[in-house]
Amino acid sequence: MNKEHTKILGAEEHDLVQAAAILRAGKLVAFPTETVYGLGGDARQGQAVAGIFEAKGRPTFNPLIAHLPSVETAQRYVQWTDQAQQLADAFWPGPLTLVLPLRDGHGISPLVTAGLKTLAIRVPAHPTARRLLALVDGPVAAPSANPSGRISPTTAAHVQAGLDGRLAAIVDDGACGVGLESTIIGLAGSRPMLLRPGGLAAEDIEAVLGHPLQQRDTQDPLTAPGQLLSHYAPNERVRLNATQAEPGELLLGFGAMPCDLNLSENGGLAEAAANLFGHFHQLDALNKPIAVAPIPMHGLGQAINDRLQRAAAPRD
Ligand code: TXA
Ligand code: MG
């Protein structure tokens, strides 16, 4: 692929006007959201979307999320339902993605959905992301801004380290507050399904719906296309549920314990989620195997454990 000069932009209005113009010209711009940094491209321009897959080295069967500045704009692209309205009222803008059937005449490139008849949509809460999306005035497809299979980026420096020269610009607005990708809920079937645990706890969604979420069938590629078992992988091996480091290992701790880096000394799950990828990036730079302390399964712990299991999974 052709290397291009990657411009670093700030988050002032004039920076975002420039970033929006670059996106409308069909080029790629990484931008912060409250979950992770996204690698954005205009979802209506096939070449821009193809560029996202190329820059990440991402398999094209793995569909992307379309980002929109408001609930009203999101409704233009999908067949809206009462449950979608209920969840949007409660959690948008925020770290929640909804999968709904596409509307006719939507104008979204089929590369975004990997040919599926459904579209994943999200209205992020990060003010910089919202302003950029409003300026683009159209759907922006954005996966996490990291090479496919590697650790997700929660700072502009992470994006630059992984993708420099493969995108036109990076909007730098500091570290992401949530630190884990959005929770994805499928609303195209008979009952709402948890397609990916993420930065919004499943319990909070269930409380609004008034009933438990259906769990995804991991054997069915349609319910979670492209969610690969090995993902978020540091360079070296990852070992889970470790109470102490073996010789040569670095220990990533949780709660009060001796360790090399701690996700949350107080045992806070939101703090651990916000630190997870950044701490992984730091330990990764030391090129040693990583042992990780046990993390409880409730609340954001479900998504943290999901990412840890993928980081520790056997690789091809
Ligand atoms: O927080 C996030 O969600 C971040 C920020 C940038 O918004 N984005 C993100 O995108 O995590 P990505 O590409 O890393 O993960 C999107 C996942 C895909 O792996 C795929 O499984 C799922 O969304 N997905 C997309 N379209 C889908 C669809 N039509 N049906 C089911 N799952 C879909
Ligand atoms: Mg990703």
The enclosing domain of 169 has a CATH number of: 3.90.870.10
Contact status, residue 119 vs residue 102, Cβ threshold 8 Å: yes
> Whole domain around residue 26: which residue ranges?
7-215
Tokens read off for 210: 């008034």
Q: Collapsing DSSP states into helix, strand and coil, what is residue 171? A: strand
pTM (2 d.p.): 0.95
How many of the other CB atoms lie within 10 Å of CB of 297?
9
Rounding to the nearest 10 degrees, give the CA dihedral for residues 144, 146, 148, 149: -100
Tokens read off for 110: 């089929």
222 in a structural domain: no
Round to whole Å and give the CA distance between 110 and 80.
Answer: 20
306 in a structural domain: yes
**How high is the pLDDT of residue 2?**
59
25 in a structural domain: yes
ipTM above 0.90, yes or no: yes
> Residue 306: CB within 6 Å of ligand 1?
no
Tokens read off for 19: 């970033």
> Residue 173: CB within 6 Å of ligand 1?
no
State the distance from the centre of ligand 1 to the C-alpha of 224, rounded, in angstroms.
9
Residue at token pair 């683009």: 136
Are residues 275 and 199 part of one domain? no
**How high is the pLDDT of residue 197?**
96
Quick: pLDDT tens for 253-268. 999 999 999 999 999 9
287 in a structural domain: yes
Q: What b/e sequence results for 49-68 when a residue is b if at least 16 CB atoms lie within 10 Å of its CB, and e otherwise?
A: bebbbebbebeeebbbbbbb
Planar angle of CA 281, 145, 238, nearest 5 degrees: 35
Ligand 1 atom closest to the Cα of residue 95 is 1
Residue in 34, 28, 26, 38 with CA at minimum distance from that of residue 7: 28
Point out which residues pair with 78 in neighbouring strands.
102
Are residues 210 and 281 part of one domain? no
Boundary (domain end) residue, out of 149, 183, 215: 215
Round to whole Å and give the CA distance between 62 and 24.
Answer: 23
Boundary (domain end) residue, out of 168, 200, 215: 215
**How high is the pLDDT of residue 227?**
73
> Residue 120: CB within 6 Å of ligand 1?
yes
220 in a structural domain: no
Q: Collapsing DSSP states into helix, strand and coil, what is residue 48? A: helix
Round to whole Å and give the CA distance between 175 and 156.
Answer: 8
Round to whole Å and give the CA distance between 41 and 142.
Answer: 7
**How high is the pLDDT of residue 315?**
76
Round to whole Å and give the CA distance between 46 and 112.
Answer: 8
Are residues 300 and 174 part of one domain? no
Boundary (domain end) residue, out of 200, 215, 230: 215
**How high is the pLDDT of residue 216?**
87
Amino acid at 38: G
The enclosing domain of 301 has a CATH number of: 3.40.50.11030
Contact status, residue 230 vs residue 310, Cβ threshold 8 Å: yes
**How high is the pLDDT of residue 51?**
98
Are residues 260 and 209 part of one domain? no
Are residues 305 and 159 part of one domain? no
Contact status, residue 179 vs residue 273, Cβ threshold 8 Å: yes
State the distance from the centre of ligand 1 to the C-alpha of 216, rounded, in angstroms.
15
Are residues 86 and 30 part of one domain? yes
Quick: pLDDT tens for 278-302. 999 999 999 999 999 999 999 999 9
Instruction: Tell me the ligand closest to 223's alpha carbon.
Output: 1
State which residues of the chain have pLDDT below 50: none
Are residues 79 and 130 part of one domain? yes
**How high is the pLDDT of residue 189?**
92
Are residues 242 and 211 part of one domain? no
231 in a structural domain: no
- The DSSP secondary structure of 162-199, one letter per residue, reads HHTTSSSEEE-----SS-SPPEEEE-SSSS-EEEE--S
Are residues 186 and 136 part of one domain? yes
Q: Collapsing DSSP states into helix, strand and coil, what is residue 87? A: helix
Are residues 283 and 153 part of one domain? no
112 in a structural domain: yes
Amino acid at 297: M
65 in a structural domain: yes
DSSP-derived letter for residue 105 is: T
> Residue 65: CB within 6 Å of ligand 1?
yes
Are residues 81 and 149 part of one domain? yes
Are residues 161 and 287 part of one domain? no
Phi, psi of 158 (to 5 degrees): -60, -40
**How high is the pLDDT of residue 138?**
95
Instruction: Name the domain count of the chain.
Output: 2
> Residue 15: CB within 6 Å of ligand 1?
no
* CA-to-CA dists, residue 177 to 90, 143, 167, 212, angstroms: 19, 17, 24, 27
Round to whole Å and give the CA distance between 122 and 70.
Answer: 9
Choice from 56, 61, 119, 184 to test ligand 1 binding pocket (greatest atom count within 8 A of CB) = 184
**How high is the pLDDT of residue 222?**
62
